[in-house]
Structure 1
Amino acid sequence: METINASACSNCGFATSDIYTDLPVFPDYLLETNEPPTDSETFELEKAAAECRSRISQLDTTITALLSSLEKHRRMRQSAEEQIRRGGAILSVVRRIPTDILVEIFNWTVPDEARKRAMNRCPWVLGRVCSRWRAVSLALPELWTIIDRKIPLAMVKAQLDRSIPYPLTVELGFSDTGSVELLIACSARWEVADVEMRPFMGPVLAAVQGRLPALRLKYNDNNGFRLFGAFSSAPALRDVSLSGRASLELPWSQLERLNLKLSNPTGLNQLREAHNVVELSVTGRPYERLPVADVMELPRLRTLLIKDGVFLQSLCLPALEDVYVSMDVSSVPSLIQRSNCYIKKFSTDVQCVSADIIAILENTPGLIELRITAIQDVQLLLSRLTVPASEMTAYARPLVPALRVLAVSNVSDAPACTHLIAMAESRRASPVCAEPSLCVFDFIKWTGLNLHALETLAMLREKGFTIEWLTGPQSMDRYRSWRSNYP
C-alpha cells in the first residue's frame, strides 16, 4: 500500500497531504460494459478498495483531531472577545467622565417643577450604577429636593436629610400622617407645595401658617373644606394653582401667576383681590357670568387662558396682550372694547366661523399672532386678510397689518389653497403689512398631504415664504404646545 505524502501545517501542526492525487486509479472503462472483470482486474480492484478503506480510516482520525483543534480555537477566540469587551468597559467614555461633568449631568435629571416620579427613578437610581455615582449623587443636595407623595416614610426621611439646605418641592397627600408631619417640620424650606387635601390634613397643615417664606403653591381640594388659612402668610408666594372646590385664604394681592380649575364659579370672586396678577388660566367646567353686579378689573393681567369665553363678560383687562379661548369666542370683541386693551396674540381651539374671528380682528389692529385650530369657512377669513390692490398704499389700513404668525386649519381644497397664496402674496406686496409666517393644520390626514396641499406648499416655498403644513400627530403636538406658555 502506498504511504501518504504528508507535511506539518505551519498553523495547526497537523499533517497535510494531497489526498486526491495519491488515490489508486480504478479501471473506469469497466463501467462502460457489462462484461465480468478478469482475474487480474479483480485483484487490482480489491486492492484499490482496501487502500481506500485504509485512507478513510486515516482521514477520520485527522478530521477528529482537526475538529478538536477547531473547538479549542473557537474557545480561544471567544476568550479574546470577552477580554475586548472587558477592556472596552474599562475604557468606556462614561467611566472616564470627569466628576464636574458628571455633576452637571446629574443636575439635569432634576425637573423644574414637581411631578409624579416612581421611586426607582432619579435620584435613587443614580446610586445603583456604581459606588462612584452613588458618592457623587449623595454629595449633591439639589438632587434630593423633590419629594414624591408615593415614596415610603424611610425614603422621605433620607431625602430630607440629603437635601439640606436646599429649597424643597413637596407633594402632600400621603396616606401616612408621619410623612406629612415630617414635611411640615421642614416647611421653611418649601419652595413648591403640591397639596392633595385629605380629611386628616386640615389640623396638621395649620402648623405651617407663618412658616412659608419661599412658597409656591399647587392646591387641590375635591372635598370642599371650609375656608382654609394655612397659606395666608407666605411672603414669597407669587404662583398658585387651585383646583376642585378649593377655598383658601391667600395673600391675593401679591400673586402674579394663577391657574384656576375650580368646579364652583363663585370661588372666582376671590380674583377681585388679585389685582397684581399678570398671568391667569381659568379652566375646568364651563363658567357662567360671575354672580356680581359690577365688572372685575385686573389691571396688570397680560396673559389669559380661558375655557369658556362667557366668563370674559365679568372682566376688564386693560393690560391684556395674549389671550387663548377654548369655548365661545363671541365675548372677546366686547372684552377688548370694554378694556381698551392692545391684543398682540390670539389663539383658539373652539370650532368657530370666520365672522367671529373677523369681529375680533377688527378690534385688534396690533395683532401679531393669530392661531386657530378649527374654522369652518377658512376661505372667508383668508379673503379678508388679503390686501386688495386698491389698498396698496402707505396710507391704507388693512386688517391686522402687523400680523407675523398665522396658523389655520381646513385649507384642503383648491379654492382655499388659492386664497392662501393670494393672501400671502398681497401682504408681502403691501407697504404697510408684515409678511406672515404660515402654519397650516391638517388634523384629518395622518400619512400625507393631498395634491392641492402639496402644490401650494411647494409654490409658497419656491416664492420664499416661511410655511409649515402639519398633518395628524404633528398637528396635535403643535396644538398642545401652545398651552405650555400659559399658567
Structure 2
Amino acid sequence: MAKSSAFGYSVLPDTAQSLYDYMGPTSFTHTITLPEHESAEAIEQMMTDMQRAQMHADIYEEAAVNARKKALWLQSTVNFYKNMSVPLVRMPTEILTLVFQRCVLDDTAGHVFSHRATPVVLSHTCRRWRAVALSIPSLWNLIRLHIERSKKYTSLDMLRVWLERSQPLPISCLAQIYDHAMLSTNKDVLDHLILHSSRWAAMEFCVGSQVDLCIRLYNMNRHLPQLQYIHVEAQGSTTYGGGGGWSEDCLTTWTAPKLKEGTLVVLGPVDTSRLSIALPWAQLEQLEWTAGMVEFFFYVAHEFSNLRRCSIHVSAGPERDSFQQIALPRLRHLEVSGPYQGIIAILDALSAPSLQRLDVDPEEQIGSVANSLLSSIGQLQRRSSCQIFALSAPCTLFTSSSTPSLAREISTVEELRLLLTAEEDNSQAASHLRTIFRSLKTLRFLYRELPGLDSSLFSMMAGIVEIRRHPVSHSVRLERLSIDVLGTDSSPDTHISTESRAFQELLKLREDGLDIQGSVVAGKWHSYYGGIRWCKEDLQRSVRRWARFGYSDWLYEPELDAFLKVSTIYKFETAATDQTLL
C-alpha cells in the first residue's frame, strides 16, 4: 500500500488488519458493554477507538480515490491501445488533418454552442484525435453563432474555447444575435468577438434593434488588419445612433487595408441624420449601403473610386436641387432604390464610363414621372459614354407616350428586368415593350405579388414574350426568359402556378428554342435566380457569401445549391479557409 499523505508507515500493519476486520463477516455486529459505574477509563478507550476508526476511514477514502483514478487511467490507456488498432485512428497526422478539415466543411449545421459541432465531436472521440484536433486551428476559425437557437447555453465558455483554439488564424464569423430578449448575452458575445478583432477576416452581424451592439461596434478598436468582408444588418435606426451629425470622426471609423466588400443595411425606418459605422470607402470594390439622406451619399461618394458594384438605398429625397458631379470610373453595376427624387438626383450627378448594369427601384408609383426617370437614365449613358446592356426597372417606367424616343437613348439594352404589380396600369407600357430595345435578348419578369391563374397582367406579359420571340421588324429575337415572384417574410418560398393557360403557352415556346430559365416542380415554377437576383454575377456573389461561412444551413437557398451543382466556375473544396473567397 502506498504511503498515506496523512499517516506514516508505522500505521500500515494496523490499517491492514483493520481493513480485514471491517470487511469481515462480523464487522457490523460489534456490541459495546457499558460499564456499570462511571468509568473515565472506559470513556477514554471509546474515544481512542473512535479516533482510530476515523483514521482508518480517512485512509480508506484516500485510497479509494487513488484507486479509482488509477482504474480510470488504466481504462483510458486500454481504450487508447484498442483505438490504435483501428486503421482510421492510426492514420498519419497529415492525412488525418485533411480528413478532419473535410468533416468540418461538410458540417453545415454546426455552431459554437452545439456539442454536435464537428470540431467538438472530433476532440472528444479519443486521445489521439483530441490531440490532433486541438493542434489544427483551421478546424475552429469558422464561428457560427445563433443565440436564439442556443438559449439553454447561459455560459460563453464554448465561444471562448473556439476563439482560443483558432489562434492565430484569421476568423470568419456569422453572428445572428438579433433577439432583444437576450441583449445581455448578446453584449457579452460581441465583447468576446471584439477582443479578437485583429483577426477578423469575414464578419456578418445581424443585430436587430439593439442599439447597444452598434455602439459597441462603433467604439471598438478601429484597426482591423485582416478584415476583407463586413456585413452589418440592423432594424430601424440602430446603426444611425452614433456620434450625431456628419462630423469627420464619423466618416473615418475603421482602418482595414484588406477590406473590399461591405454591407451596411438598415431594415425599416431610418434616422437620416446620423451614421455610427463608416468604412474605408476608397478601397471598397463592392458596397451595399442604406445611406439615409441623399446628401449623405454625395458626402462620401467622391471616395468610391474603386467601386465596381454599388447598391444604395436612400430614405428621403434631396433637400436641394443639384449636386456636384461624381465620377465613379470603375463602377459596372449600380442599384438605386428609395424615393424617385433621390434616384433621379443620383443619376443626374453621376458619371460612370464602365457602367453596364443599372437597377432602379422607386418606392412610389412612378407613372406620372416616368419621363423624368427614363430621361435621367438616358442622360447618364450619354454623359458617361457607357453602354448599359442590362436594365431593371418598374414596368411603368415605359408608360408615357415619349417612351419610344427616350428608350432610343439606351438602345444598347440587351437584358431587361421588369418589376410588375397589379396595383398599377401596365397596359401602355406593355404596348411599348413590344417594340422598344431592338437588341433585347433576355427578358425577366419579377412580380411583386403572386399572380392568379386568371391574371390579366401575366397574360399581357406573355403576349410581349410571344411578339419578341417572333418579331416582325428588324428587332433581335428574344432568346431567354426568366419569371419569378418576390417572397415575403411570412411566405419566403413563394412560387407561381404553371397551370394557367398563359403559362402553358409560354412553356410551348421552349419547343421553339426559347430558354425559359427555370423548371416546373409539382405544378409550381422554380426559377434559376430567385426573386432577389437577376444575373449570374448576383448568384456568384451570394455563393461566395454562403461559402465564407461554411455553406451554413442558415444561409441555404435552393437557387444557390442548384447553381453550385451545375457551375464549373466554383469548386469550393476548402471554402471555409480559402482566402480567395473573402
TM-score computed with the length of structure 1 as normaliser: 0.61
8 Å Cα contact 2:103-2:118 kept in structure 1: no
Residue in structure 2 matching 1:145, options 123, 141, 147: 141
Q: Distance in 2 between matches of 1:137 and 1:349?
A: 54
Once the two structures are superposed, the pairs formed by residues 437-452 of structure 1 within 5 Å of their partners are: 437-440=480-483, 446-452=496-502
8 Å Cα contact 2:293-2:318 kept in structure 1: no
8 Å Cα contact 2:378-2:407 kept in structure 1: no
Alignment partner of 1:154 is 2:135: no
- Structure 2 residues without counterparts, runs of 5 or longer: 1-87, 178-182, 244-248, 267-273, 448-454, 487-493, 543-582
Q: Deviations over 1:412-454 (max 9, x none)?
A: 6877655532321227x95x72542123458999544323442
Residue in structure 2 matching 1:400, options 437, 447, 462: 437
Once the two structures are superposed, the pairs formed by residues 296-445 of structure 1 within 5 Å of their partners are: 296-308=326-338, 309-312=340-343, 313-314=345-346, 315-318=349-352, 319-327=354-362, 328=366, 330-338=372-380, 339-340=383-384, 341-348=386-393, 354-355=399-400, 361-374=407-420, 384=432, 399-408=436-445, 417=462, 419-426=464-471, 430=474, 433=476, 435-440=478-483
Residue in structure 1 matching 2:202, options 189, 192, 195: 192
- Structure 1 residues without counterparts, runs of 5 or longer: 1-93, 388-398
Partner of 1:256: 285
SS of equivalent residue, structure 2 residue 465: helix
- The alpha carbon displacement at 1:374 in A equals 0.7
Q: Distance in 2 between matches of 1:257 and 1:198?
A: 26
Partner of 1:103: 101
- Say if 1:366 and 1:204 are closer, same or farther in 2 by CA, change over 3 A: closer
- The alpha carbon displacement at 1:311 in A equals 2.2
SS of equivalent residue, structure 1 residue 217: strand
Partner of 1:225: 242
Alignment partner of 1:127 is 2:121: yes
8 Å Cα contact 1:241-1:259 kept in structure 2: yes
- Say if 1:236 and 1:217 are closer, same or farther in 2 by CA, change over 3 A: same
8 Å Cα contact 2:200-2:227 kept in structure 1: yes
In percent, how many aligned pairs have the same letter? 18
8 Å Cα contact 1:257-1:278 kept in structure 2: yes
- The alpha carbon displacement at 1:406 in A equals 0.8
- The alpha carbon displacement at 1:320 in A equals 1.9
Q: Deviations over 1:106-150 (max 9, x none)?
A: 224469xxxx96733873686189727975765653342243373
Residue in structure 2 matching 1:282, options 312, 320, 325: 312
Partner of 1:461: 510
Q: Distance in 2 between matches of 1:336 and 1:134?
A: 64
Q: Deviations over 1:353-412 (max 9, x none)?
A: 54487566422222221111316666655655556xxxxxxxxxxx43432211237676
Aligned length: 374
Stretch deviating more after TM superposition (182-191 or 402-411): 402-411
The one-letter code of the counterpart of 1:224 is G
8 Å Cα contact 1:172-1:180 kept in structure 2: no
Alignment partner of 1:482 is 2:534: yes
8 Å Cα contact 2:316-2:342 kept in structure 1: yes
Partner of 1:235: 257
Alignment partner of 1:212 is 2:225: yes
- Say if 1:425 and 1:382 are closer, same or farther in 2 by CA, change over 3 A: farther
- Say if 1:465 and 1:250 are closer, same or farther in 2 by CA, change over 3 A: closer
8 Å Cα contact 1:181-1:204 kept in structure 2: no
The one-letter code of the counterpart of 2:286 is R
Stretch deviating more after TM superposition (299-308 or 264-273): 264-273
- The alpha carbon displacement at 1:190 in A equals 0.9
SS of equivalent residue, structure 1 residue 258: strand
8 Å Cα contact 1:404-1:437 kept in structure 2: yes
Residue in structure 1 matching 2:301, options 255, 264, 271: 271
Q: Distance in 2 between matches of 1:473 and 1:420?
A: 17
- The alpha carbon displacement at 1:154 in A equals 0.9
- The alpha carbon displacement at 1:299 in A equals 2.9
8 Å Cα contact 1:243-1:261 kept in structure 2: yes
- Say if 1:307 and 1:289 are closer, same or farther in 2 by CA, change over 3 A: same
| Cα-Cα RMSD | 4.5
8 Å Cα contact 2:310-2:333 kept in structure 1: yes
Q: Distance in 2 between matches of 1:445 and 1:202?
A: 40
Q: Deviations over 1:138-171 (max 9, x none)?
A: 5653342243373742122111122223211344
Q: Deviations over 1:439-482 (max 9, x none)?
A: 34589995443234424532x23323223587866369732333
8 Å Cα contact 2:469-2:479 kept in structure 1: yes
- Say if 1:207 and 1:451 are closer, same or farther in 2 by CA, change over 3 A: closer
8 Å Cα contact 1:404-1:434 kept in structure 2: yes
Partner of 1:163: 166
8 Å Cα contact 2:470-2:477 kept in structure 1: no
TM-score computed with the length of structure 2 as normaliser: 0.53
Q: Distance in 2 between matches of 1:225 and 1:362?
A: 46
Q: Distance in 1 between matches of 2:409 and 2:377?
A: 10
8 Å Cα contact 1:325-1:350 kept in structure 2: no
8 Å Cα contact 2:495-2:525 kept in structure 1: no
Q: Deviations over 1:328-376 (max 9, x none)?
A: 5652431341343311111235765544875664222222211113166
Stretch deviating more after TM superposition (434-443 or 234-243): 434-443
Which structure has the higher relative contact order (CA within 8 Å, separation 6+)?
2
SS of equivalent residue, structure 1 residue 343: coil
- The alpha carbon displacement at 1:189 in A equals 1.1
